[in-house]
Amino acid sequence: MSNVADTIHDAGTAYVRKKKRGALAEVLFRLRKSPLAMFGLCVILLLIFVAIFADLLAPYPYQKQNLAHMFETPSKQFLLGTDEFGRDILSRLIYGARISLQVGFIAVGIALVVGGMLGAVAGYYSGWIDNGIMRVMDVLLSIPQTLLAIAIAAALGPGLFNLMIAVGISAVPNYARIVRGSVLSIREMEFIEAARAVGSSDLRIILKHIIPNSMAPIIVQSTLGVASAILNAAGLSFIGLGIQPPYPEWGAMLSGGRQYIRDYPHLTLYPGLVIMFTILALNFLGDGLRDALDPKLKR
């Protein structure tokens, strides 16, 4: 009996091992085949680099006004021109990357931690806990996300930190739902049964087994989530609820340049382009990751 089982088992593992690269390497390998996703990844890495080294890269400080050079179109001195206070637009965009990326990543971090925990608990325990949590999420989901962010931001008042909270909290239900969904499907699998049988605690099972196994949809949602968080934050700043002047948030820059659009369109053109390319890059990356992580597409 045993040697037959062993034969099958050996053959099986050999078969699997031959195909298996590391999980990360496998994803990267498949991501490389999508040029758009790679483009997205490069743009994001470039932006992160710019945000970190903004002090070194920016030709001028972001708040430096130069009233002798107001509304200048792009020139050698000011590569992307200057705004209504004669501030260098390029420098402001570079510092703006810092703010926008911070808002995007931290807001998603907040949403992920809060939503992820709620979703994991709801999915793992089911019953009335699940019911209670998910009904609250239903309520939050019945308010469109932008609107929820506006409502929270209006209550909290303007400021970078409040902006992150508002954008983050408004995205919580999305993560709660995704995590709950994958927990529900994983919970019934046999290796969880096995872990329970050997006496692992609930917390250990959630942290060690369930969360790692529901990573794929979470990674995809987070990537796309950073995009929508940046977009939402820019929208809030645009209507005056987010970052206040003189901080160079991209949406606030757009908002500031708006009244001069007929005569000096470059004030709104460049911040808009930067926002669009950032979001585009994140969306391409998110889409590529979804395809790369989707087990259905594995051969």
Partner 1 sequence: MIRYIIRRVLFLIPVLIGVAFCVFTLLYLTPGDPARMILGDMATEGAIQEFRAKEGLDKPFLLQFGHYIYKAVTQGDIGRSYITKRPVMHEIMTVFPATLKLSAFAIVVAILIGLPCGILSAIKQYSIFDTITMIFAMVGLSMPVFWLGLLLILYFSVYLRWLPSSGFDTFKAMILPSLALSAQSISMITRMTRSSMLEVVRADYIRTARSKGQKESVVIWIHALHNALIPVVTLCGLQFGHLLAGAILTESIFAIPGVGRLMVESIKMRDYPMVQGGVLFVAVAFSVVNLLVDLVYAYIDPRIKAQYK
Partner 2 sequence: MDANTQNNLLLEIQDLTIQYITDAGTVHAVENLNLHLGHGETLGFVGETGAGKTTTALGIMRLIPSPPGVVKSGKIIFEGQNLLEKSEPEMRAIRGGKIAMIFQDPMTSLNPVMTVDKQIAEMIKLHKNVGEAESLKLAGDMLELVGIRRERMHDYPHQFSGGMKQRVVIAIALACDPGLLIADEPTTALDVTIQAQVLELMKKLKQQFDASMILITHDLGIVADICDKVAIMYAGRVVEYADKRALYSNPVHPYTIGLFNSVPDLDDDKEALNVIPGLMPDPMDLPAGCTFHPRCTCAAEQCSKTKPAMIDVGNGHFAACPIRAKALGAA
Nearer to partner 2, 2 or 142 (CB): 2
Among 114, 143, 195, 216, binds partner 1 (CB under 8 A): 143
- Selection from partner 2, partner 1, none that 142 binds (CB < 5 to 8 A by kind) is partner 1
The reply to whether 240 sits near partner 1 by the rule CB under 8 A is yes
Percent helix / strand / coil, the chain, rounded to 5 = 75, 0, 20
- Selection from partner 1, partner 2, none that 54 binds (CB < 5 to 8 A by kind) is none
Tokens of 39: 């483009």
**Residue 30 to residues 21, 127, 219, 283, 294: CA-CA distances in angstroms?**
11, 39, 15, 17, 11
Among 7, 73, 75, 185, binds partner 2 (CB under 8 A): 7
The reply to whether 4 sits near partner 2 by the rule CB under 8 A is yes
Cβ atoms within 10 Å of 21's Cβ, excluding its own: 10
Tokens of 51: 């945000």
The answer to whether residues 237 and 251 touch, using CB atoms and an 8 Å cutoff, is: yes
CA distance 59 to 73: 16
The reply to whether 144 sits near partner 1 by the rule CB under 8 A is yes
CA distance 249 to 93: 8
The answer to whether residues 64 and 89 touch, using CB atoms and an 8 Å cutoff, is: no
What is the x/- site pattern for partner 1, positions 27-46, by CB under 8 A? ---------x----------
The answer to whether residues 40 and 280 touch, using CB atoms and an 8 Å cutoff, is: yes
Contact stretch for partner 1 (CB under 8 A) within 2-10, 11-19, 80-88, 142-150: 142-150
The reply to whether 265 sits near partner 1 by the rule CB under 8 A is yes
Query: For the range 201-204, what are the long-range contacts, defined as Cβ-Cβ under 8 Å and sequence gap of 24 or more?
Result: 202/124
Among 139, 140, 171, 299, binds partner 2 (CB under 8 A): 299
Least distance (Å) from partner 1 to the CB of residue 219? 19
The reply to whether 12 sits near partner 1 by the rule CB under 8 A is no
How far does CA 277 lie from the centroid of its chain? 15
Of residues 8 through 47, those in contact with partner 2 by CB under 8 A are 8, 11-12, 15, 33
CA distance 36 to 289: 11
In one-letter notation, the amino acid at residue 45 is L
Residues binding partner 2 (CB under 8 A): 1, 4, 7-8, 11-12, 15, 33, 299
Residues binding partner 1 (CB under 8 A): 36, 135-136, 138-140, 142-148, 150-152, 154-155, 157, 227, 231, 234-235, 238-241, 251, 254-255, 258, 261-262, 265, 268, 271-272, 275-277, 279-280, 283-284, 287
